[in-house]
């Protein structure tokens, strides 16, 4: 059962830790299904004032409790401070559309299941809030549920990491950063932390050896300290720990050797964000605006949640429009080229697609991602289509299938944080659609 703490700072620490990670925030339990937990039907925050049992507040932690969380993921800026990712002031470039009617009826068999499921059924099974499919750059499918619509931004959770990882790799490609350099060479303040002697490459690929537990059942887990430090709001009177992400990162201690095993730890992304800010003079929100958001014809600004000194949460703070994240994904699928401009160097996309160290990845034991790897904060399947993805808790995903010329972006609010809860449906569904697009390109 999900448990909430009565004190505000505890509740917010809980939230931020969930945001930060792919580890489940809830243990085994049963939850109302997508229809029963539909945030629009539940009437969250409707009325002036809303009925008491339909109010979602930050201070009491109610906002991250399922099913209220299904409203919150489309309304983070209303709950906490944020910083803008400007799309610029020009005209958006509309996505071309060629909607297909054959997708909803597509069938596949979920991993471990005995019966097939339709694509349409998979949307509810995964508590989908919004999903868009591009084929050869055109929108072939687009759906919104609950309180999400095309004019809103949804939490991307750890999909953020892949966006930040892409920017890090861009800076390596243009020589601004050297992947073989040690982190301490960029951030002297990290000299006494585990990151000091890690290379930037190890951070980008999360093969650092860090004492950083994301076990929420353990009140002494480091993830609590990270979340509390990142909390931008007033701390409890007795709180004496780090006040910012940067202060927290300096306290992370080593565990094991760097470079040996893949270990998914959010703090790597925060360190990358810090390195990016130090060398470019721009935080990840500003850089994302300048280098990407203003160049892909985005129709909405995006935003990041921030800590008490305005540091964007590089490990999980991005919120964006569904179609804009699809523009980003399509740009990556096209080797970094979009709207006639080379936005991300082709070498960066080639490097992601080639993937990381498979042996290092295998040690992390992701059953449903066997044979995969992790590179520049992207998950690489190494399946026959060469698919790779960005993954965020509660079902957020960018899925790029080069062979099928397909990009899927999904926002969701699954009651279970870990993607291992939705992968048995998600992966076969996405693979089946890829196959359909290859065999019936229309």
Nearer CB in complex with a copy of itself: 77/435: 77
Select the residue interacting with a copy of itself from 4, 43, 92, 221 (CB under 8 A): 92
Q: Which two tokens stand for residue 154?
A: 């949804």
In the Cβ-directed half-sphere of 219, how many Cα atoms lie within 13 Å? 5
Site map (CB under 8 A) of a copy of itself, residues 226-265, x = contact: ------xxxx-x------x-x-------------------
H or E stretch covering 130: strand 128-135
User: Which range binds a copy of itself by CB under 8 A, 15-23, 33-41, 71-79, 349-357?
Assistant: 71-79
The verdict on 311 binding a copy of itself (CB under 8 A) reads: yes
Residue bearing tokens 């196959």? 435
The token pair that represents 197 in the structure block:
């002697």
Near a copy of itself by CB under 8 A, which window of 51-59, 213-221, 353-361, 370-378?
51-59
Q: How far apart are CA 306 and CA 313, in angstroms?
A: 6
Question: What whole-number distance in Å separates Cα of residue 152 and Cα of residue 300?
Answer: 8
Stretch that binds a copy of itself, among 33-41, 149-157, 370-378, 416-424 (CB under 8 A): 149-157
- Is 84 in a helix, a strand, or coil? strand
Q: Which of 147, 171, 411 is nearest to 302 (CA)?
A: 411
Binding-site member from 3, 41, 57, 370 for a copy of itself (CB under 8 A): 57
Using CB under 8 A as the binding rule, whether residue 45 contacts a copy of itself is answered as: yes
The β-bridge partners of 397 are 391, 410
Residue 298 CB, nearest approach to a copy of itself (Å) = 10
Residue (110 or 232) nearer to a copy of itself, CB: 232
With tokens 């490990």, the residue in question is: 315
Q: Which is nearer to a copy of itself, 153 or 269 (CB)?
A: 153
Q: What span, in angstroms and rounded, lies between the C-alpha atoms of 154 and 152?
A: 7
Q: 277 vs 393, which CB is nearer to a copy of itself?
A: 277
Span 157-196, contacts to a copy of itself by CB under 8 A: none
Q: Is 99 in the site for a copy of itself (CB under 8 A)?
A: no
Measured distance CA(99)–CA(171) in Å, rounded: 37
Which of 43, 86, 178, 196 is in the footprint of a copy of itself by CB under 8 A? 86
Alpha-carbon distance of 70 to 84, in angstroms, equals: 23
For residue 82, give Cα distances in angstroms to 218, 391, 397: 29, 22, 22
Nearest Cα neighbor of 202 from 246, 113, 108, 265 is 265
Count of residues touching a copy of itself (by CB under 8 A) = 52
User: Which tokens in the block code for residue 315?
Assistant: 């490990």
Stretch that binds a copy of itself, among 48-56, 104-112, 212-220, 422-430 (CB under 8 A): 48-56
Site for a copy of itself in 286-305 (CB under 8 A): 299-301, 303
The neighbour count for residue 108, using CB atoms within 10 Å, is 22
Q: List the one residue from 98, 113, 309, 339 that touches a copy of itself (CB under 8 A).
A: 309
- Asked if 91 is part of the footprint of a copy of itself (rule: CB under 8 A), the reply reads yes
Out of 5, 31, 40, 88, which residue is the one contacting a copy of itself (CB under 8 A)? 88
Question: According to the binding rule CB under 8 A, does residue 220 interact with a copy of itself?
Answer: no
Span interacting with a copy of itself, options 72-80, 103-111, 171-179, 354-362, rule CB under 8 A: 72-80
8-19 and 222-230 helices cross at what angle (nearest 10)?
Answer: 110
Axis crossing angle, helix 284-291 with helix 267-280, rounded to the nearest 10: 70
Q: Answer yes or no whether residue 138 interacts with a copy of itself by CB under 8 A.
A: no
DSSP string, 285-313: HHHHHHHTGGGTT-SS-EEEEB-TT--B-
Does 72 participate in binding a copy of itself (rule CB under 8 A)?
no
* In the complex, minimum distance from the CB of residue 394 to a copy of itself, in angstroms, rounded to a whole number: 21
One of 3, 29, 36, 78 touching a copy of itself (CB under 8 A): 78
Among 40, 43, 84, 424, which residue sits at the site for a copy of itself (rule: CB under 8 A)? 84
- Give the Cα separation of 163 and 167 in Å (integer): 7
Which listed range, 102-110, 168-176, 257-265, 306-314, lies at the site for a copy of itself (CB under 8 A)?
306-314
Cα separation, 166 vs 348, whole angstroms = 7
Closest CA relative to residue 269, chosen from 394, 391, 369, 380: 391
Considering only 9, 24, 322, 425, the residue that binds a copy of itself (CB under 8 A) is 9
Q: Would you say 91 or 217 has its CB closer to a copy of itself?
A: 91
Question: What does the binding site for a copy of itself look like in residue numbers (CB under 8 A)?
Answer: 8-9, 45-46, 48-50, 55-59, 75, 77-84, 86, 88-92, 150-153, 232-235, 237, 244, 246, 274, 277-278, 281, 283, 299-301, 303, 306, 308-311
């Amino acid at each position: 059962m999900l448990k909430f703490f009565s004190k505000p700072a505890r509740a917010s620490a809980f939230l931020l830790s969930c945001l930060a990670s792919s580890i489940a925030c809830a243990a085994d339990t049963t939850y109302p299904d997508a229809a029963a937990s539909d945030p629009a039907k539940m009437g969250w925050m409707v009325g002036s004032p809303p009925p008491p049992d339909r109010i979602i507040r930050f201070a009491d932690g109610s906002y991250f409790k399922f099913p209220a969380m299904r409203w919150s993921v489309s309304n983070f800026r209303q709950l906490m401070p944020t910083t803008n990712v400007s799309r610029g002031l020009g005209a958006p470039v509309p996505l071309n559309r060629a909607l297909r009617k054959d997708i909803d009826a597509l069938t596949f068999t979920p991993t471990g299941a005995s019966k097939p499921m339709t694509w349409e059924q998979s949307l509810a099974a995964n508590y989908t809030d919004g999903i868009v499919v591009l084929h050869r750059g055109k929108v072939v499918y687009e759906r919104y549920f609950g309180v999400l619509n095309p004019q809103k931004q949804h939490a991307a959770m750890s999909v953020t990491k892949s966006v930040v990882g892409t920017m890090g790799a861009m800076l390596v490609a243009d020589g601004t950063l050297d992947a073989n350099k040690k982190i301490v060479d960029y951030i002297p303040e990290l000299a006494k932390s585990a990151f000091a002697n890690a290379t930037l490459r190890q951070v980008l690929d999360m093969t650092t050896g860090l004492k950083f537990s994301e076990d929420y059942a353990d009140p002494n887990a480091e993830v609590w300290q990270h979340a509390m430090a990142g909390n931008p709001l007033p701390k409890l009177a007795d709180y004496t720990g780090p006040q910012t992400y940067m202060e927290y990162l300096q306290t992370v201690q080593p565990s094991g050797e760097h470079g040996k095993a893949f270990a998914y730890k959010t703090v790597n992304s925060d360190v990358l964000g810090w390195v990016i800010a130090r060398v470019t003079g721009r935080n990840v929100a500003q850089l994302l605006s300048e280098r990407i958001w203003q160049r892909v014809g985005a129709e909405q600004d995006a935003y990041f949640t921030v800590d008490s000194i305005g540091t964007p949460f590089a490990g999980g703070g991005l919120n964006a429009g569904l179609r804009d994240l699809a523009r980003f994904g399509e740009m990556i699928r096209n080797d970094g080229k979009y709207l006639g401009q080379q936005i991300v160097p082709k070498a960066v996309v080639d490097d992601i697609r080639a993937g990381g160290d498979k042996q290092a990845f295998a040690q992390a034991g992701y059953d449903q991602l066997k044979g995969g790897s992790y590179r520049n904060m992207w998950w690489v399947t190494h399946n026959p289509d060469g698919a790779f993805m960005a993954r965020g808790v509660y079902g957020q995903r960018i899925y790029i299938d080069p062979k099928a010329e397909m990009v899927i972006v999904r926002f969701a609010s699954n009651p279970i944080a870990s993607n291992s809860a939705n992968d048995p449906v998600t992966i076969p569904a996405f693979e089946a659609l890829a196959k359909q697009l290859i065999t019936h390109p229309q």
